[in-house]
Structure 1
Amino acid sequence: MLMGEQIGQTSTILDVGCGTGQTAAFLALQYGADITGMDINPIMVEKAKNRMAAHQVPVKIILGSIEDIPLEDGSFDFVLSESVLSFVNKQKALQEIYRVLRSGGRFIVNELTVNKQPDPKDAEEIKAFYGFDSLPLELDWKVLLEQAGFKNIAINRNGQSILQTHQMPEFHYSDVIEPNLFEVFNQHYMIMLKYQDILSYRVLTCTK
């Protein structure tokens, strides 16, 4: 995702929907840049802060929504987003990302994209399970980015299937993970298997 981007030690980067902070930590270690990670889930924020403390990585982790980013206009050279936009109001989120980027700043996003629209019954099954409001094609993402004001939009399609690039991790029962969550993971895998010709992803890059 980052190949060809001019990232250096003076770069300011926002990782929206940072989860446990794995990507944010990588960015800090790889580039020595000024990294901020943000997530709406307090548990993820806590885990990300613990990760940074354990590895002594100077990454700021904050609680916040991609639809209402609690940061100033023009604060970042780069905004990075991985599998976040499909779960939120896309227009609001893109407006906020555009706002916090400086002029000439870069938005890099890895997002669910369908290769073709499934029939209505299959589309409803996918949307209902994941909580999606839509199943965007490449053109849909391009239009959304253009409407938000972005330019120089490039779309990269990986040749691998979503199953090849999204391996299911091993899970073990514990006192802190409810058993019914394992059923959710199983359903997730079965949907990816069933719709592997339809469900995919794209890496999109663009400029403010």
Structure 2
Amino acid sequence: MVFIQGSTYLEFLAKFGVGGAHPGGINLSKELFKAESIQQTSHILDVGCGTGQTAAYLATHFQANVTGIDINPIMIEKARHRMKKTRLPVNIIQGSIVQTSLPNESYDMILAESVLAFVDQQRALQEIYRLLKRGGRFIAIEFTMPELLPSQLVEDIQQFYGFNALLMKKDWVVLLQQAGFHNIRIQKNKSISSKPEFNFSKDIESALYDKMDQHIAMSVKYEKILDYRIYSCTK
């Protein structure tokens, strides 16, 4: 998960060291990877890698060449500590997916687990497209509005989470197509879930505990509104 300046929600995720915060959690990620052709020679970029839970799984289970990128220094520190502790050769770099210094066509697969809603989607997708090899795969698990919502409600949700935008399924498809992706597949799988893991920082402000309680309340209140879809496509 990436960090957006001023988003207390993402600060809460970083300080609590929440891994698998995306819908479906690590169990959904594992299920999605079964459908992909991941080899030991595969080069994979985990966008908004957070504490590195998914990146570590890819390196362990597939022995793939994995790179994680995140803009939040706290998440970076926790991800690097995970890789050092588990002795995994995962490269963790600090930066934003909106603009990187990574070489063109470097990766066979790129994934973004609940990341793009927080950034400039158009610029991020253009960068992801640039970084993918020809025929490379992109997988995103993203918040998706099931229907057009009242503007005030959208604004309230965006302010709380720090979303750059709340999009409907058709909006995501247009953005993916504009970036150049094809073979776009959309899935909805709510039968798979997993509990998040936590890696707490030493000093956590009391306001962040309040944010956690508010997030739980929001999740219950807007369960049908805060929906998500899985988007997979090819360059």
TM-score (normalised: structure 1): 0.92
Separation in structure 1 between the aligned mates of residue 203 and residue 181 of structure 2, nearest angstrom: 42
Aligned length: 204
* 1:60-104 superposed Cα distances (whole Å, 9 cap, x missing partner): 111111101220000000001111100000000000000000110
Match of 1:124 in 2: 155
Match of 2:143 among 112, 116, 121: 112
CA drift at 1:3: 2.5
Q: Secondary structure, in 3 states, of the residue corresponding to 2:227? A: strand
Identity of paired residues, percent? Answer: 50
The one-letter code matched in structure 2 to 1:203 is: I
* 1:118-148 superposed Cα distances (whole Å, 9 cap, x missing partner): 2222111111111223211111111110000
- Measured at CA, do residues 62 and 175 of structure 1 come closer, stay the same or move farther in structure 2, by a change above 3 Å? closer
CA drift at 1:192: 1.3
The one-letter code matched in structure 1 to 2:212 is: F
Match of 2:171 among 128, 132, 140: 140
* 1:6-58 superposed Cα distances (whole Å, 9 cap, x missing partner): 00101000001100111000000010010011111111111111100100111
Separation in structure 2 between the aligned mates of residue 171 and residue 16 of structure 1, nearest angstrom: 19
Match of 1:52 in 2: 83
Higher RCO (CA-CA < 8 Å; seq separation 6+): 2
Q: Secondary structure, in 3 states, of the residue corresponding to 2:165? A: coil
Match of 1:200 in 2: 227
| Residue ranges of structure 1 left out of the alignment (5+ in a row) | none
Larger radius of gyration: 1
| Residue ranges of structure 2 left out of the alignment (5+ in a row) | 1-31
Separation in structure 2 between the aligned mates of residue 122 and residue 166 of structure 1, nearest angstrom: 28
Separation in structure 1 between the aligned mates of residue 123 and residue 202 of structure 2, nearest angstrom: 38
Separation in structure 2 between the aligned mates of residue 78 and residue 130 of structure 1, nearest angstrom: 27
The one-letter code matched in structure 2 to 1:53 is: K
- Measured at CA, do residues 72 and 170 of structure 1 come closer, stay the same or move farther in structure 2, by a change above 3 Å? closer
Separation in structure 2 between the aligned mates of residue 118 and residue 55 of structure 1, nearest angstrom: 44
* 1:182-207 superposed Cα distances (whole Å, 9 cap, x missing partner): 11111111111111111111111000
RMSD: 1.9
More strand by share: 1
- Measured at CA, do residues 167 and 200 of structure 1 come closer, stay the same or move farther in structure 2, by a change above 3 Å? farther
Separation in structure 2 between the aligned mates of residue 100 and residue 181 of structure 1, nearest angstrom: 35
